[in-house]
Amino acid sequence: MQESLFKYLAGLCDADGSLSFNFKRDQNRPDRYFYGLSLHLTAADAVDKNGFVASLPEATGFGTVSRYGAKKQFAAWIVAKRSDLEMLVPRLIKHMMLKARHWQWMLDHWRQHRGQGYSERTVSDQERVVLTAACKESRRTRVGPLKPRNHPAWGWLAGYLDGDGTYTHRENFAKTNGYWQLTSNVSAVAHINDICVLEFLQRSFGGIIVDQGQSDNVKVWRRALGYQNRDFALRFLPKLAKHSRLKRHKIEEMISYMRERTSRNNRPQRLSVPGPTG
């Protein structure tokens, strides 16, 4: 695997990946359980049209793929083998910007307890409850990268926006002035507890952070990519298209539109034409 793919997967896992504990039955002693750890990354076929997630076992050499849903429309990459986790998770954590500290805590906790056995009663009545509460608290409080970063890696950013980002590019007819108007931007959504990742994007690329609808618990970072931001967009978008696996087609559409219909001194032709009358 190239390092750029690890960076992309780190960004995608920051958005949509999960690392979770489980209790596995001891094959030699059926009445005993031991700690397990598994990584899950899921994508819907409607988004992952080229089957990127389904290709990960072959591309990385780690894990398996399971399909689920009424029409098997979701693919989940699952890595649960001890040797695979020891090779994969530390390399992802190194590049993660949101869940790195939490995943490192989980990895350390698993390493500390994985050889410890538990009875079935202990697992069901006590240890599972305690462990679940500890995981929730860690996810809430251990937010951010292991080391401060001044600027996101393009591979990580492409992965994160492929998961929690949206690329908007549409033309609307404005009745107020009778002209077509272009709406073009990139945005990312995060819970208020994870707002540090949106603030990191804002420091790096500008834009604004606003509430999502009427919810105070969900924030949105939005950066304009329209005509007035054309120069920035044509520097920004090609670097993401180079790494994106799930939304590359949308990014390339935006790049093509800007290159074909705009110039440094003139607005896009369609946007200067009055809309239909009547």
223 lies in some domain: yes
Strand partners, 274: 179
166 lies in some domain: yes
Question: What stretches of the chain show up as alpha helix (H) in DSSP?
Answer: 3-16, 56-60, 82-95, 100-113, 120-122, 128-141, 154-164, 195-205, 230-241, 248-261
User: What is the 8-class DSSP label of residue 274?
Assistant: B
Last residue of a domain, one of 108, 141, 174: 141
Distance between CA 81 and CA 83 in Å, rounded? 6
Predicted local confidence at residue 172, as pLDDT: 74
User: What are 33's two structure tokens?
Assistant: 């359980």
Residues 172 and 86 in one domain: no
Instruction: Provide the domain count of the chain.
Output: 2
Is 187 a residue whose pLDDT tops 90? yes
Distance between CA 229 and CA 235 in Å, rounded? 10
147 lies in some domain: no
Last residue of a domain, one of 92, 118, 141: 141
Residues 135 and 15 in one domain: yes
Predicted local confidence at residue 132, as pLDDT: 87
Q: What separation in angstroms does the CA of 53 have from each of 37, 68, 97, 140, 242?
A: 20, 13, 21, 27, 18
Distance between CA 126 and CA 112 in Å, rounded? 18
Kindly report which listed range (12-21, 86-95, 113-122, 212-221) carries the lowest average pLDDT score: 113-122
Residues 123 and 229 in one domain: no
Predicted local confidence at residue 175, as pLDDT: 62
Residues 172 and 264 in one domain: yes
Residues 170 and 254 in one domain: yes
Residues 137 and 161 in one domain: no
Last residue of a domain, one of 117, 141, 165: 141
Higher-pLDDT residue of 107 and 275 is: 107
Residues 22 and 46 in one domain: yes
The whole domain housing 112 covers 3-141
What is the CATH classification number for the domain harbouring 236? 3.10.28.10
276 lies in some domain: no
Residue 67 neighbours by CB under 8 Å, 6+ apart = 54, 74, 75, 76
- How large is the average pLDDT for residues 183-198? 95
273 lies in some domain: no
Cβ atoms of 102 and 142 within 8 Å: the answer is yes
- How large is the average pLDDT for residues 132-149? 94
List strands edge to edge, sheet with 208-212. Answer: 165-174, 179-191, 215-224, 208-212
Is 193 a residue whose pLDDT tops 70? yes
Residues 130 and 174 in one domain: no
- pLDDT-above-70 percentage for the chain: 87
Compute the mean pLDDT over every residue in the chain, rounded to the nearest whole number.
87
Residues 113 and 208 in one domain: no
Residue 180 confidence class, pLDDT cut points 50, 70, 90: low
Is 237 a residue whose pLDDT tops 90? yes
Predicted local confidence at residue 278, as pLDDT: 47
Is 263 a residue whose pLDDT tops 90? no
Rg (CA), the chain: 22
76 lies in some domain: yes
| Of the candidates 140, 128, 131, the residue with the CA atom closest to the CA atom of residue 101 | 140
100 lies in some domain: yes
Predicted local confidence at residue 120, as pLDDT: 65
Residues 137 and 13 in one domain: yes
- How large is the average pLDDT for residues 150-170? 95
278 lies in some domain: no
- How large is the average pLDDT for residues 241-262? 90
Residues 16 and 125 in one domain: yes
Per-residue pLDDT tens over the stretch 25-75? 777 777 777 778 999 999 999 999 999 999 999 999 999 999 999 889 999
Residues 228 and 174 in one domain: yes
Distance between CA 201 and CA 109 in Å, rounded? 31
